[in-house]
Structure 1
């Protein structure tokens, strides 16, 4: 029993990126090709750097000739490569390299990340239009839609910052695109890029405005002053 357990441990383990299992289909690899690649990895890990089609097919349900054809296709399609190396004695030998596979996997990962970011960006932009139409209580005009697009595409304002400027305009009772544009201009000039920075900036201006408001009779309700961005 103990010797069997030791033999099992000595067989070793291989580390395979989870991404390979989730993305092999997007790399146009079949299940059989994936298993063949995994067997190559297993041989490489055990020190056999150039397993023969006979050795590989013995672990699979494909014939030697099928394995040979599949190896050739994987090389042609850029998933594995055969490289020449030399021993310390100067003897030339060949070995498999799976570096092309990892490179393809990295490219697929970056492609997915880019697509996810683009999808997220489109979602945020759509959300901005929805927020504006909700606050204005009507569909935006073509000119207003163009202004929104320019804020995001030309001025590179983050959709979160644009929505913060919209809230600032609503709080100030000046719901118009000219006022919002001025807020965004001031924030960009002052290096404001996050929602927290915008809140701090707005609080500071309101505090200044509060200090300028003359004392009123306590019997009258005092209104909260707002910063008039158009006067800057």
Structure 2
């Protein structure tokens, strides 16, 4: 018992600012990102290098997952890699702290949710309902890229989800392929997609059908010859 207590005390402690605990999601972190931040902080405070392989073993995930998350943090300007000369590199969260100090990305708990955030939640809710499960952190990151990098319309996202489900393809990659294809064909609204589908099926609109019927009626009318008075 004494040996365990001694080992427990020697392991030390890792502290975290309350502002990060309160606003980490507003800043772009999810729960796994927060744990990753704590693991990096712990290792570097101990003087060790935060090796992705070591962190992956601790978090019971693949090394690629950790590397992808680190890249995402850098892309979101929440972290940067700083060279320490002959001692290797260090993950520096100074950009995260600067954002906290400046109040960027932070909002009161009772603040009104913006339209953009509401759209994201609706898309995520639709995906989770169709998939029958919660989205993984990587899947949530993909959805965020649809909004922030690809700038897909939320209505088109929902339509693409429905299209994928109808084809029994519950995959974000499949849904993204649909969105890219629609974007390439300049289909920017659900109505445009519907018209494109009907054209492929050879559907003729009723207004066009009426015009065709009118033309046929005119074609069936007998031709009345015209005589000149001189010919009589």
TM over 0.5: no
Band the TM-score falls in, shorter-chain normalisation:
0.3 to 0.5
User: What TM-score, normalized to structure 1?
Assistant: 0.43
**Bigger Cα Rg:** 1
